[in-house]
Each structure stands twice: as structure tokens, then as C-alpha cells.
């Protein structure tokens, strides 16, 4: 006798095996689809309503699955049984279950039409006046979704209810009201925002609990955008921000510091208001708590973009030297990133190159020179130095320090960063200085190609074509590559006892030929070396050579293909059984590329 999906589900949910019950709950939506909408509403949902498990993981999965049922299985107009169960889940003690239930409630309510939303107000009222605080906490999260579905009279009642939650005696409820206020404010009509939303926001921002004030100030961006009037923001939101910058709790100051650039932008204030915004920011940069200073440093580039070069010179620049010597490394680390962002026109386009050289360069130089400075700080600077190629030729001291770090043995990430800078030095100084200057950056590049760490070697390869492009702008780039890089690396390749050196060399050569614009002489030279790699005693090298040939063969003319590539490929294929597909065989990867090459060459 066959068992129906509903019977099977009931048996599994009633099992003593918690894993079996959880697996059944994970399939809740699938069971509903098997039953169909009518039986889901008539049997499945009533069963769930009377079989609430004590297992939080079960309840969490139920909350998620119920939300996914609407509207794909149960239409919004018939979703009341789903809402009833989710209301119960939104009042349980476990936070993650409540959050999932609120998210599902919001989704389900959004699918309902206004004609069937009469019960929603009653649901919010029950949750908002529940004896246990969990219901009141969850109620704050569904106000926005319900508000959009009810009539004007109900909306008046909802705004009053929300105000009562913001004044609740339980801190957890007030925290939830502060956290959800932004989403509620977006659906409240303009005429009610000054008297309701703003009043609630001000009240929460003055709460005795710092966790409530912290969440209130986090909502400053959203509230400012809702108000969307600079004068109103100046009168209502900015006082909250200003007070938060001077709050007795460092957590509140930290919250405003983390979001300060976004807040400043959202306030849309100018003139004297903008001056006050900068003054508050300066206060955060000089805060007594390192966490606050560090969070404020993150916004330096954005605030320079907001206020301009004049403000940077008069207000921010005088603080940079002190911040660069901050006793807490985290502050210095975030400052180093922020300073590099200030030099990036895509992030901050307000500083001229003269301002960068005069104000920022000395600080970067001191950080790089300081032997006691952390590697993290140095890497933050080094990784973004290539973006300063336009002025690197005027930063000789920094370049000198970078060159010295090319052989830094304590942290391979430093060497990796230097490897990525070298193409920028070629661009800044020209290929002649790159080749034979004092020091010769080319020699550093060739040394790093032999680094013991693969990521350092890969960084050199990633910048190879940039060096080639610079060489092309000054002279015959292909001839330069063959003379200065290939001629220097071929002997190393031939005498190498380590297969990684040969792999790096072949990958480097392939990087010089990324498209069909590659000069014929260079292409033939690279192909010749790749073909030689097919006979290497190490399988990894043979595979890299075949992969390189596959990448280049489309750029080769018939002469190279017929006289060089095809005969060698044919010989290699004859030596190996291409039909063999043994994953444990060392040459399996090679055969994969050989088969692809055969397809392209139509051997």
C-alpha cells in the first residue's frame, strides 16, 4: 500500500530521530508542491501549526521554508495560515529563528493584496503588546511591510504603536525599534515624517542605553535620505551625529566614525554646515580610543573628496604625521590604506599631484623606511603604489626604499608587492632606466622571477606584458624582450635543476604574446621554447608547455604551424596514447591539451 507525501511527512516529523525531522523540514516546500495548494492549506499548514518542535534548528528551517511557499505555492491572498505560523515563530526566544520569521513575514505580507490585509493590523498589535519582549522585538521588523498594505486609519495607529515600542521599558525592544526605523521611515508619508519619524529618531538617539544610541546613529544615512532636505537634515539629523561624535560611549563614537563619509554625503549640507561636518570628523581622528581613530581613518579619502584640497591642507594634513606614528598598529594600517586612496583619482580626485608629493609622500616614505613598522602597513602602501606611476619618477626616496624591499626575506607578500610595482617603475622612468639604470630594475625583476614563493613569481608574470608595452613605446619592444629578458632567462632554464623555474619561464614567455598583434619574430621565439618544453622530463612542465601552445596557436601563421608546431605535436602524440584517460597517470593533463591542440590544428 502506497504512502501519501503527507503521511510520510507526518511520520518523519513525529520521529524521535532529530536528523530525520530536520531533513523532513528542509523538504517542506517540496512536500507542499507534491500535495498542491489545496491540500497544503487544508492539511500541511494546520499540521505544522499544531506540531511546533522545540529544536531551534527545526524552527529556523520552518521559518525559511514557509516564506518560500508564497506566492509560488500559496497565493498572497490565501497566505493567512502561513502568517499565523510565522507569527508564532517570530515570538520564540531564539534570535535567529525570530529574524528568519520576520524576514519571511515581510516577504509574505509584500505578496498580499490590500483587500485581504485586514488581519495584519491585529497581528502587529498582538506582537507589539505581547507580554514577553520577543514579540515586541519582532514587531518592529514587520511595521514597514504592513504599513504599505493598510488604510489611512490603520496607518495612524501603526505610527502610534511604533512610538510606543521606541519608548518600551525593555532595552532589546528599543534596540529593535532603532534598527528597524530606517525601513519604516521609507514607507511613511512625507507629511508624517517630521512629527513621527524624526521625533522617534531623536528620542532613540538620546536613549540611556549606548547600544540603542549606537543603532540610532547607524540609521543617520537612511534617515537623511528619507528627509532629503539639507535644511531639515541640518536641524534634525546633524545634531544627532554631532552628539554621537562626542558621546561618552566609545562604541557610539565608533559607530558614527565607521559610517562618517556616508553620513556626510547623505546630509547634503554645505557652507557652515559642511564646516561643522569637518570639525566633527577632525574630532573623531583625534579621539582617545584607537578603535574610533582607526574607523575615522577609513573615511579620510572620502572626506577629502567631500571637502576639497583646501580643507585637506588646513584641517586633515596636520594630523597625518601624528596618526602615522599612532601607538596602535591598526590605526596606522587603516591610515596607510586611506592615504593611498587619497592618491587614486577614481576614489579621491580632489588632490593635485603637487599636494600628494608635498604632504602624502613624506608620510608614506617614513612608514616604508621604519624598520619597526609592521609588514601589513608596508604592504598596504606597496600594493597601491602602481597607481601612482604618473608621479613615481618624482618620488625617488620611496622608489629607493621599494628597491631595497625586493630582497625582503621575512614576508613574501612584501616581495610580491614589489614585483607588481616594477612594471609601474618601467612606465615612470622609461625602459632605458628600467634596463640599465642604477639600480637596474630589470635585474630585480629577473631575481624575483626565481623567488621560492609561487605568488611572487606569478606577480612578475602578471606584469610582463606591461613591461613589453613600455618597451614598445620607446623602441622595438619585441627585440627588447628577446634581448633583455628571454636571452637572460634561457640559460637559467637550460641549467635549472628545479622544474618550477622552467614552468615560470614558459609561463612568462606565453605572457608576452597575449594577442595576434605579437610580432612574428617574438612569436616564433616563444613557440620554439614551448615546443622544447614538450620534451621536458617533468610532467608539469610538459603540461604548461602544451597549455601555452594552445593559447598561442591561433596567432600563428601557416608557416609556423606546418613547419614547427604540427611535426612536434605529432611526434609527442605518437609517443603517448591520446585515447588513454587515466586520471592517476602523470601525463593525463598533457593529453587533455594535446587533444585540444589536435582539434585546433586538425592534425
Q: Collapsing DSSP states into helix, strand and coil, what is residue 122?
A: helix
Question: To the nearest whole number, what is the mean pLDDT of the chain?
Answer: 91
Mean pLDDT of 387-395: 90
Alpha-carbon gap, residue 5 to 366, rounded angstroms: 71
Alpha-carbon gap, residue 306 to 315, rounded angstroms: 13
Are 230 and 367 in a shared domain?
yes
Q: How many CA atoms lie within 13 A of 339 on its CB side?
A: 34
Are 244 and 360 in a shared domain?
yes
Cα–Cα–Cα angle for 91, 97, 102, rounded to 5 degrees: 65
Per-residue burial over 242-270, b = 16 or more CB atoms within 10 Å of its CB, e = otherwise: bbbbebeebebbbbbbbbbbbbbbbbbbe
Are 110 and 196 in a shared domain?
no
Alpha-carbon gap, residue 69 to 75, rounded angstroms: 9
Whether 359 and 393 have beta carbons less than 8 Å apart is answered as no
Q: Collapsing DSSP states into helix, strand and coil, what is residue 558?
A: helix
Q: Is residue 286 part of a domain?
A: yes
Are 105 and 232 in a shared domain?
no
Cis omega (within 30 of 0) on the bond before 323? no
Are 367 and 265 in a shared domain?
yes
Q: Is the pLDDT of residue 377 over 90?
A: yes
Cβ partners under 8 Å of residue 32, min gap 6: 40, 44, 69, 73, 74
Cα–Cα–Cα angle for 10, 64, 69, rounded to 5 degrees: 70
Reported confidence tier of residue 116, pLDDT bands at 50, 70, 90? low
Last-in-domain residue among 90, 116, 142: 116
Cα–Cα–Cα angle for 265, 269, 274, rounded to 5 degrees: 95
Q: Is residue 91 part of a domain?
A: yes
What is the span of the domain harbouring residue 537?
514-603
Last-in-domain residue among 69, 96, 116: 116
End-to-end CA distance of the chain: 62
Query: H or E stretch including 235?
Result: helix 230-236
Q: Is residue 125 part of a domain?
A: no
Per-residue burial over 449-466, b = 16 or more CB atoms within 10 Å of its CB, e = otherwise: bbbeeeebbebbbebbbb
CA distances from 591 to 81, 540, 561, 574 (A): 60, 12, 19, 11
Alpha-carbon gap, residue 517 to 513, rounded angstroms: 8
Are 252 and 357 in a shared domain?
yes
Are 203 and 333 in a shared domain?
yes
Are 200 and 111 in a shared domain?
no
Cis omega (within 30 of 0) on the bond before 366? no
C-alpha radius of gyration, the chain, whole number: 33
CA distances from 235 to 183, 227, 263, 272 (A): 21, 11, 15, 13
Query: H or E stretch including 384?
Result: helix 375-384
Q: Is the pLDDT of residue 481 over 90?
A: yes
Are 253 and 343 in a shared domain?
yes
Whether 554 and 600 have beta carbons less than 8 Å apart is answered as yes
Query: Which triple of cell numbers denotes residue 199?
Result: 521625533
pLDDT-wise least confident of 36-50, 104-118, 147-161, 223-237: 104-118
Q: Tell me the pLDDT tens digit for each residue of 548-597.
A: 999 998 888 888 888 888 888 888 887 777 777 766 667 788 888 888 88
Query: Which triple of cell numbers denotes residue 271?
Result: 557652507
Are 104 and 23 in a shared domain?
yes
Q: Is the pLDDT of residue 603 over 60?
A: no
Cα–Cα–Cα angle for 571, 574, 576, rounded to 5 degrees: 115
Last-in-domain residue among 319, 340, 373: 373
Q: Collapsing DSSP states into helix, strand and coil, what is residue 439?
A: coil
Choice between 555 and 377, residue whose per-residue pLDDT is larger: 377
Please provide the size of the chain in residues.
603
Cα–Cα nearest to 303, from 330, 245, 342: 342
Q: Is residue 265 part of a domain?
A: yes
Q: Is residue 549 part of a domain?
A: yes
Query: Which triple of cell numbers denotes residue 234?
Result: 541640518
Give how many domains the chain has, as a whole number. 3
Whether 255 and 217 have beta carbons less than 8 Å apart is answered as yes
pLDDT-wise least confident of 97-106, 224-233, 320-329, 494-503: 224-233
Alpha-carbon gap, residue 111 to 75, rounded angstroms: 8
Whether 259 and 224 have beta carbons less than 8 Å apart is answered as no
Location of C-alpha cell 493598510: 150
Query: Which triple of cell numbers denotes residue 315?
Result: 584641517
CATH number, domain of 263, equals 1.25.10.10
Tell the burial category of 17 from Cβ atoms under 10 Å away from its Cβ (0-12, 13-18, 19+).
exposed
pLDDT-wise least confident of 111-115, 492-496, 540-544: 111-115
Are 194 and 71 in a shared domain?
no
Q: Is residue 439 part of a domain?
A: no
Alpha-carbon gap, residue 437 to 76, rounded angstroms: 74
Are 307 and 198 in a shared domain?
yes
| Predicted local distance difference test score (pLDDT) of residue 191 | 87
Q: Is residue 571 part of a domain?
A: yes
Q: Is residue 384 part of a domain?
A: no
Cβ–Cβ contacts within 10 Å for residue 371, how many? 4
Q: Tell me the pLDDT tens digit for each residue of 253-309.
A: 999 999 999 999 999 888 888 899 999 999 999 999 999 999 999 999 999 999 999
CA distances from 211 to 129, 348, 386 (A): 23, 33, 42
| Predicted local distance difference test score (pLDDT) of residue 572 | 83
Q: Collapsing DSSP states into helix, strand and coil, what is residue 346?
A: coil
Amino acid at each position: 500500500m502506497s504512502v501519501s507525501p503527507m503521511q510520510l511527512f507526518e511520520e518523519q516529523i513525529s520521529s524521535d530521530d532529530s536528523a530525520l525531522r530536520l531533513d523532513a523540514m528542509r523538504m517542506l516546500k517540496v512536500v507542499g508542491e507534491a500535495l498542491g495548494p489545496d491540500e497544503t492549506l487544508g492539511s500541511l499548514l494546520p499540521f505544522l501549526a499544531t506540531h511546533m518542535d522545540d529544536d531551534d534548528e527545526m524552527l529556523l528551517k520552518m521559518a525559511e521554508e514557509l516564506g518560500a511557499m508564497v506566492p509560488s505555492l500559496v497565493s498572497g491572498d490565501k497566505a493567512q495560515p502561513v502568517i499565523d505560523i510565522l507569527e508564532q515563530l517570530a515570538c520564540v526566544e531564539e534570535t535567529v529563528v525570530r529574524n528568519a520569521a520576520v524576514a519571511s513575514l515581510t516577504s509574505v505580507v509584500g505578496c498580499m493584496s490590500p483587500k485581504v490585509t485586514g488581519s495584519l493590523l491585529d497581528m502587529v498589535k498582538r506582537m507589539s503588546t505581547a507580554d514577553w519582549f520577543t514579540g515586541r522585538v519582532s514587531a518592529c521588523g514587520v511595521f514597514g511591510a504592513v504599513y504599505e498594505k493598510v488604510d489611512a486609519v490603520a496607518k495612524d495607529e501603526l505610527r502610534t504603536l511604533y512610538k510606543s515600542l521606541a519608548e518600551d521599558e525593555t532595552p532589546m525592544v528599543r534596540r529593535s525599534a532603532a534598527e528597524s526605523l530606517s525601513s519604516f521611515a521609507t514607507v511613511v508619508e512625507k507629511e508624517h515624517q517630521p512629527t513621527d519619524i524624526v521625533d522617534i529618531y531623536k528620542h532613540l538617539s538620546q536613549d540611556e542605553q549606548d547600544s540603542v544610541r549606537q543603532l540610532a546613529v547607524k540609521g543617520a544615512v537612511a534617515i537623511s535620505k528619507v528627509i532629503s532636505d539639507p535644511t531639515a537634515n541640518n536641524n534634525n539629523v546633524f545634531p544627532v551625529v554631532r552628539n554621537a561624535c562626542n558621546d561618552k560611549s566609545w562604541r557610539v563614537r565608533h559607530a558614527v566614525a565607521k559610517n562618517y563619509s556616508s553620513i556626510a554625503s547623505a546630509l547634503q549640507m554645505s557652507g557652515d554646515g559642511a564646516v561643522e561636518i569637518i570639525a566633527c570628523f577632525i574630532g573623531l581622528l583625534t579621539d582617545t580610543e584607537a578603535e574610533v581613530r582607526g574607523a575615522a581613518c577609513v573615511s579620510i579619502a572620502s572626506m577629502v573628496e567631500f571637502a576639497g584640497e583646501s580643507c585637506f591642507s588646513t584641517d586633515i594634513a596636520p594630523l597625518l604625521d601624528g596618526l602615522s606614528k599612532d601607538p596602535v598598529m591598526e590605526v596606522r594600517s587603516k591610515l596607510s590604506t586611506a592615504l593611498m586612496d587619497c592618491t587614486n583619482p577614481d576614489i579621491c580626485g580632489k588632490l593635485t599631484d603637487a599636494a600628494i608629493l608635498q604632504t602624502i609622500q613624506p608620510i608614506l616614505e617614513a612608514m616604508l623606511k621604519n624598520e619597526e613598522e609592521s609588514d601589513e602597513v608596508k604592504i598596504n602602501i606597496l600594493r597601491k603604489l602602481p597607481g601612482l606611476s604618473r608621479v613615481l619618477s618624482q618620488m625617488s626616496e620611496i622608489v629607493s626604499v621599494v628597491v631595497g624591499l625586493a630582497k625582503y626575506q621575512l614576508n613574501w607578500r612584501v616581495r610580491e608587492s614589489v614585483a607588481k610595482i616594477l612594471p609601474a617603475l618601467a612606465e615612470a622612468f622609461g625602459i632605458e632606466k628600467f634596463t640599465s639604470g642604477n639600480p637596474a630594475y630589470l635585474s630585480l625583476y629577473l631575481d624575483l622571477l626565481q623567488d621560492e614563493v609561487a605568488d611572487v613569481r606569478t606577480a612578475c608574470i602578471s606584469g610582463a606584458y606591461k613591461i613589453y608595452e613600455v618597451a614598445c613605446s620607446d623602441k622595438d619592444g619585441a627585440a627588447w624582450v628577446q634581448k633583455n629578458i628571454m636571452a637572460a632567462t634561457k640559460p637559467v632554464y637550460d641549467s635549472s635543476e628545479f622544474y618550477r623555474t622552467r614552468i615560470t619561464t614558459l609561463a612568462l614567455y606565453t605572457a608576452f604574446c597575449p594577442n595576434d598583434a605579437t610580432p612574428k619574430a617574438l612569436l616564433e621565439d616563444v613557440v620554439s621554447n614551448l615546443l622544447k618544453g614538450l620534451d621536458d622530463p617533468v610532467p608539469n612542465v610538459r603540461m604548461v608547455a602544451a597549455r601555452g601552445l594552445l593559447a598561442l596557436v591561433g596567432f600563428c601563421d601557416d608557416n609556423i604551424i606546418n613547419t614547427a608546431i604540427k611535426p612536434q605535436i605529432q611526434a609527442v602524440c605518437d609517443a603517448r596514447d591520446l585515447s588513454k584517460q587515466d586520471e592517476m597517470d602523470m601525463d593525463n593533463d598533457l593529453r587533455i591539451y594535446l587533444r585540444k591542440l589536435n582539434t585546433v590544428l586538425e592534425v
